[in-house]
Amino acid sequence: MKLVRFGPAGAEKPGLIEPNGTVRDLSAHAADFAAETVSLEAISRLRDIDPESLPAVAAGTRLGAPLARVGHFLAIGLNYADHAAEAGMPIPAEPIIFSKAPSCLSGPDDDVVLPKGSQKADWEVELAVVIGKRMWQVSQADALAHVSGYAVANDVSERKWQIEGTGQWIKGKSAPTFGPLGPWLVTADEIADPQALDMFLDLNGTRMQTGNTATMIFSVAQCLSFLSTMMVLEPGDVVVTGTPPGVGMGKKPQVFLKAGDEMRLGIEGLGEQRQKVVAE
């Protein structure tokens, strides 16, 4: 299934997308999508619903992030060897973990707002993983059985705040609108292999990033298992798993986002995002 949230920002309703692209309203069966409502058990119950019995949503209706909120919004840094090289950093011996503030979550096609003082805003197309079952010290072999689904994410980053000064990556990753997610939450059964997905990002019509999840240093299963050795992951938590090369920081000369820029990004089977960059 492809689960969505549709409607005006702050008033979204849960829905699903039929194979023909029609959005159907699920609000009579689910209050919203977050935490336990995207657990494996909850999604299993939704499978029993006949989509044609649900009201159709008008074509062109805005899609919000497929989750109303997240608990953990975790990220894996430098998880593609060629991206680590362009950043001038060694390949990590174990997954690098940082957080994004949950309040950075935004819709897939909403504007990315550059906050006051931003000088080096950057883009990162990433595979997002949504947890569907409580994880605590789960083996790598069992990790994917705890996944509810997958989505496209843009890990927008303010590099000056992330790296300069005292560092601390969360500072550059957490401004409002720095976490576009969606357009859909694609349930795990529709993704045969999360390590075989093409991904891309264009800036103003020019291809910046081209990659495939096969080139991750640490697989999705490895990342989730590693995280679960140190913290509990719960339904509705999001883990973004790293970006391929082509970020602005790695360009020579460097290129950073400015008001008026437009990004288009996507991952095979998970849809596309389009965002306009605006100044606060």
For residue 81, is pLDDT > 90?
no
Pick from 234, 271, 268: nearest CA to 147: 234
For residue 127, is pLDDT > 90?
yes
Q: What is the per-residue pLDDT across 30-49, written as a single tens digit (0 to 9) for each?
A: 999 999 999 999 999 999 99
For residue 87, is pLDDT > 90?
no
CATH value of 67-279 in 3.40.50.80, 3.40.630.30, 3.40.710.10, 3.90.850.10: 3.90.850.10
- One-letter amino acid at 81 equals A
Residue 84 — pLDDT band, cuts 50, 70, 90?
Answer: confident
Q: What is the per-residue pLDDT across 207-236, written as a single tens digit (0 to 9) for each?
A: 999 999 999 999 999 999 999 999 999 999
Tell me the mean pLDDT in the region 79-105. Answer: 91
Tell me the mean pLDDT in the region 88-106. Answer: 94
Residue 160 — pLDDT band, cuts 50, 70, 90?
Answer: very high
For residue 85, is pLDDT > 90?
no
Distance of CA 86 to the CA centre of its chain: 22
For residue 94, is pLDDT > 90?
yes
Rounded CA-CA distance 279/115 in Å is 7
Tell me the mean pLDDT in the region 233-261. Answer: 97
Tell me the mean pLDDT in the region 90-105. Answer: 95
> Which is more confidently placed, 82 or 92?
92
Give me the phi and psi of 221, to 5 degrees please. Answer: -60, -40
What are the C-alpha distances in Å from 227 to residues 94, 130, 135, 143, 222? 11, 13, 9, 10, 9
The pLDDT value given to residue 88: 83
For residue 86, is pLDDT > 90?
no
Q: Are the beta carbons of 172 and 162 closer than 8 angstroms?
A: yes
Tell me the mean pLDDT in the region 164-183. Answer: 96
What percent of the chain is predicted at pLDDT more than 70?
Answer: 100
The pLDDT value given to residue 83: 84
For residue 118, is pLDDT > 90?
yes
The pLDDT value given to residue 8: 97
